[in-house]
Amino acid sequence: MKYIVVLGDGMADYPVEELGGRTPLQAAHKPWMDFLAQKGETGMVKTIPDNMPPGSDVANLSVLGYDPLKYYTGRSPLEAVSMGIDLGQNDTAFRCNLVTLSDDDNYEEKTMVDYSSDEISTEEARYLIEVVNNTLGQQDIRFYPGLSYRHCMVWKNAPDSFEPSPLTPPHDILEKRIRQYLPRGNNGSILLALMKKSWDILSTEPLNLERLKKGLNPANSIWLWGEGKKPSLPLFKDLYGCDGAVITAVDLIKGIGICAGLKCVHVDGATGNINTNYTGKCEAAINELKNGKDFVYIHLEAPDECGHRHEIYNKVKSIEYIDKLVLGPLVERMPEIGDFSIMVLPDHPTPLSLRTHTAEPVPYVIYRSTEKKDGVARYDEQTCRQTGNFIENGQLLMNRFLKRQ
């Protein structure tokens, strides 16, 4: 039996007025997801434990079968692992976004305009992070370039706590004044000083002035968040008996995969947005399964990005792309390889109306080529909720999917 997880990051949502009171999942034309629901098992799963932040880090650990309450040490260290950064036991890693802040004179009075600087290109971002590192880097503090707006800062022998705790993700405060969300206290004052100095450097950087001329948001400040220490996960193969691979454009998911001992597969053109290489990800998954892997985890970031950016129709379109270009070809071609099981779900909701993550349970569907069940008519939040199937501890879903219990 081969096992495939297709995870649409942030795919779940609330009813949207512009979609006739439907969620994006309800509005999307997704015949393959609906087919799986008609022939498989559907329900709801709680991927975010109580009192934990509803981030993709916590949620994807949960979906992959790791109890976040036991294994979660912060978001950025997982990304640092993916980027090949060697973390010491006393080092703290931070996500370092390149963001767009408003032009108010006082830094504290600025507004968060864009958490991604118009999804700045990786090439432009790499240059800017190198400028930041050359100017603000110290013996114990270094900045490392990642993809697009997503980067990393490592503080060696850093303090253990910062305020607010955890530090605030920039995508949670779009169009809000940043004052109350800035790092505070003795430890936070060092982070805040770095952020303020980055404004002085980046706001006048010629590359950003050129972006303004082109009508693009400038990457005029860094924003530090997602702090954490070096993670330690038991190997996925030891827990579940499967040799697997992760296919994603996002460093966070790559980092979880590396820590879990899963192979991370590079796909040309995988971007983490709606213009990603869907077909390439599908082909990569099939190749891994043909070449001996038992399990693949295909992560698609686009619905989440659309939710954060309040792109209503792009969120619907991203779901349709996943259905047509990833799920459909998988279902059609997997019989060539053998018996297979597919699970489709989001990691968390990213409601368009809120433009951030929430902790509500998400809909899942499990389909097995060897079992044809009398399922439900379609795959969406309402239909899956009505089945009454509910998994309260999200990390137990993997056992259910792999039939390990």
pLDDT in tens, 316-330: 999 999 999 999 999
- Cβ atoms < 10 Å from Cβ of 300: 29
**Span 294-310, mean pLDDT?**
97
Question: Which pLDDT value is given to residue 182?
Answer: 98
Measured CA to CA, the distance from residue 87 to residue 155 in angstroms comes to 10
Nearest to 227 by CA among 76, 341, 111, 367: 76
For the chain, give the percent of residues with pLDDT over 70.
100
* Of 231 and 181, more confident: 181
Is 70 exceeded by the pLDDT of residue 405? no
pLDDT in tens, 352-378: 999 999 999 999 999 999 998 999 999
Nearest to 359 by CA among 12, 7, 5: 12
Is 70 exceeded by the pLDDT of residue 148? yes
Residues 6+ apart with CB under 8 A from 19: 26, 27, 312, 316
Is 70 exceeded by the pLDDT of residue 214? yes
Measured CA to CA, the distance from residue 329 to residue 63 in angstroms comes to 23
Return the H-helix or E-strand segment holding 130.
helix 122-136
DSSP 324: I
Question: Which pLDDT value is given to residue 161?
Answer: 86
The identity of residue 124, as a single letter, is: E
Measured CA to CA, the distance from residue 299 to residue 304 in angstroms comes to 11
Is 70 exceeded by the pLDDT of residue 82? yes
Is 90 exceeded by the pLDDT of residue 300? yes
**Span 30-43, mean pLDDT?**
98
Question: Which pLDDT value is given to residue 186?
Answer: 84
pTM: 0.88
pLDDT in tens, 274-299: 999 999 999 999 999 999 999 999 99
Q: Which residue has the tokens 């963001």?
A: 99
**CB 191 within 8 Å of CB 224:** yes
- Say whether 227 sits in a helix, a strand or coil: strand
CATH code 3.40.720.10 region(s) in the chain? 2-73+232-402
Tell me the CATH architecture of domain 2-73+232-402. Answer: 3-Layer(aba) Sandwich (3.40)
Measured CA to CA, the distance from residue 172 to residue 175 in angstroms comes to 9
- Cβ atoms < 10 Å from Cβ of 8: 29
**Span 22-29, mean pLDDT?**
98
Under the banding of pLDDT at 50, 70 and 90, the label for residue 8 is: very high
Question: Which pLDDT value is given to residue 160?
Answer: 82
- Cβ atoms < 10 Å from Cβ of 236: 24
Under the banding of pLDDT at 50, 70 and 90, the label for residue 165 is: confident
**Span 327-355, mean pLDDT?**
97
